[in-house]
Amino acid sequence: MTDVGDPIVLLRRVRNVRSFRAEPVPETAVEDLLEVARWTGSARNQQPWDFVVVRDRAVLRSLAAIAPNLAWMADAPLALVPVLAGKNAETETFDEGRLSERVMVAAGARGLGAGIGWFLPGAPREAARGLLGVPEGRVVRTVVAIGFEANDGPPRAERPPGAAAQARRPLAEMVHVDHFGRRPD
């Protein structure tokens, strides 16, 4: 599998990938991602999740058709949908974020790209739950699309400034020392 070298570089390169090649995701990589998901820490180690692995093209297209913010996912070779227990909104939302981000990082470690999409509250979220046959009361909010990135350019973190969507606020705006509002020298 791809050698990604320095883990800090790997982390800095994680981006929401929205364009995929048709090539399937190797089964060994899927197993790796699921193991990473399984070992993600959760509040009180409740592990409040199941995972739906979606490979069926028709289901992927239907998920993508739920709302415009998901349209790019139609041609992804695979998606992983965490299904939350629906018992504790606050901790489960945090747990789900950790899980989703880890899967994205693990995908990067295997030379794959991954992109998060959200089923927004209300009709989109209900549509996703219905499509995947998830029982009422369980929460389906996030989908992580996974595949080999279609864009063969340099890793996004290394692209020249100007790719505005990639921009981040400077640390000087975010970092405080000892007290909020006290800036580094």
Ligand X SMILES: Cc1cc2nc3c(=O)[nH]c(=O)nc-3n(C[C@H](O)[C@H](O)[C@H](O)COP(=O)(O)O)c2cc1C
- Residues in the site for ligand X, rule: CB under 6 A? 15-16, 18, 69-70, 116-118, 166
Q: How far is the CB of 107 from ligand X (least distance, A)?
A: 13
The smaller minimum CB distance to ligand X, of residues 46 and 69, is found at 69
The smaller minimum CB distance to ligand X, of residues 7 and 97, is found at 97
Count Cβ atoms within 10 A of the Cβ of residue 3 and give its class: 0-12 exposed, 13-18 middle, 19 or more buried: exposed
Q: How far is the CB of 13 from ligand X (least distance, A)?
A: 10
For residue 149, give the DSSP letter: B
> Does the CA dihedral 129-68-81-142 come out positive or negative?
negative
The residues, any chain, with a CB within 8 Å of residue 122's CB and separated by 6 or more, are none
CB atoms within 10 A of CB 71: 13
The smaller minimum CB distance to ligand X, of residues 153 and 181, is found at 153
The residues, any chain, with a CB within 8 Å of residue 23's CB and separated by 6 or more, are 77, 147, 148
The smaller minimum CB distance to ligand X, of residues 12 and 176, is found at 12
From residue 155, how far is each of 35, 84, 163, 166 by CA, in Å? 26, 32, 12, 11
Q: How far is the CB of 17 from ligand X (least distance, A)?
A: 7
Collapsing DSSP states into helix, strand and coil, what is residue 49?
strand
Q: How far is the CB of 97 from ligand X (least distance, A)?
A: 7
Q: How far is the CB of 65 from ligand X (least distance, A)?
A: 14
The smaller minimum CB distance to ligand X, of residues 17 and 36, is found at 17
